[in-house]
A and B are shown apart, each in its own frame.
Chain A
Amino acid sequence: MAHDHDHQVVPSDPALRVKALESLLVEKGLVDPAALDVLVDTFENKVGPRHGARVVARAWADPEYKKRLLEDAPMAIAELGYTSGQGEHMVVLENTPEVHNLVVCTLCSCYPWPVLGLPPVWYKSAAYRSRAVIDPRGVLREFGTSVGDDVEVRVWDSTAELRYIVLPERPVGTENLTEEDLAAMVTRNAMVGVSKL
Chain B
Amino acid sequence: MNGIHDMGGMQGMGPVPHETDEPVFHAEWEGRVFAINAALRAMCMWNLDTWRYQIESLAPVDYLRLTYYERWLRINEELVAKHGLLAGAAKAVPALTAAAAAQRLGRGVPSSDDPAVKPVFAVGEHVRARNINPIGHTRLPRYARGKVGVIARDHGVYAFPDTNAHLEGEHRQHVYSVRFAARELWGEQASEKDSVYIDMWDDYLERA
Contact of B13 among A22, A89, A126, A161 (CB under 8 A): A126
The residue in chain B whose Cβ has the minimal distance to the Cβ of A38 is B101
Range, interface on chain A? 35 or more
Bound CA–CA A106/B8 (angstroms): 5
Contact of B11 among A32, A117, A134, A156 (CB under 8 A): A134
The residue in chain B whose Cβ has the minimal distance to the Cβ of A83 is B106
Whether the pair B17, A107 counts as a contact (CB closer than 8 A) is no
A-B contact list, 26 entries, CB within 8 Å: A14-B70, A19-B32, A22-B32, A28-B85, A28-B86, A32-B39, A32-B95, A32-B97, A36-B36, A40-B34, A40-B35, A44-B24, A85-B107, A89-B109, A107-B5, A118-B24, A125-B13, A127-B13, A127-B14, A133-B8, A152-B194, A154-B197, A158-B199, A159-B139, A159-B199, A162-B199
Stretch at the interface among A59-67, A143-151, A178-186: A143-151
A-B complex: 6 closest residue pairs judged by Cβ atoms: A106-B8, A160-B199, A84-B105, A39-B35, A36-B35, A130-B10
**Contact pattern, A 63-105, Cβ under 8 Å of B = 1, otherwise 0:** 0000000000000000000011111110100000000000010
Whether the pair B15, A142 counts as a contact (CB closer than 8 A) is yes
Whether the pair B16, A136 counts as a contact (CB closer than 8 A) is no
Bound CA–CA A137/B107 (angstroms): 36
Question: Which residues in B have their C-beta under 8 angstroms from that of A22?
Answer: 32, 36
14 further A-B contacts with Cβ under 8 Å, apart from A21-B80, A134-B9, are A14-B73, A21-B76, A36-B36, A39-B38, A43-B24, A44-B31, A106-B143, A121-B17, A122-B16, A122-B18, A130-B10, A133-B196, A160-B158, A161-B175
Contact of B17 among A28, A35, A118, A122 (CB under 8 A): A122
| B135 sits at the interface (CB 8 A) | no
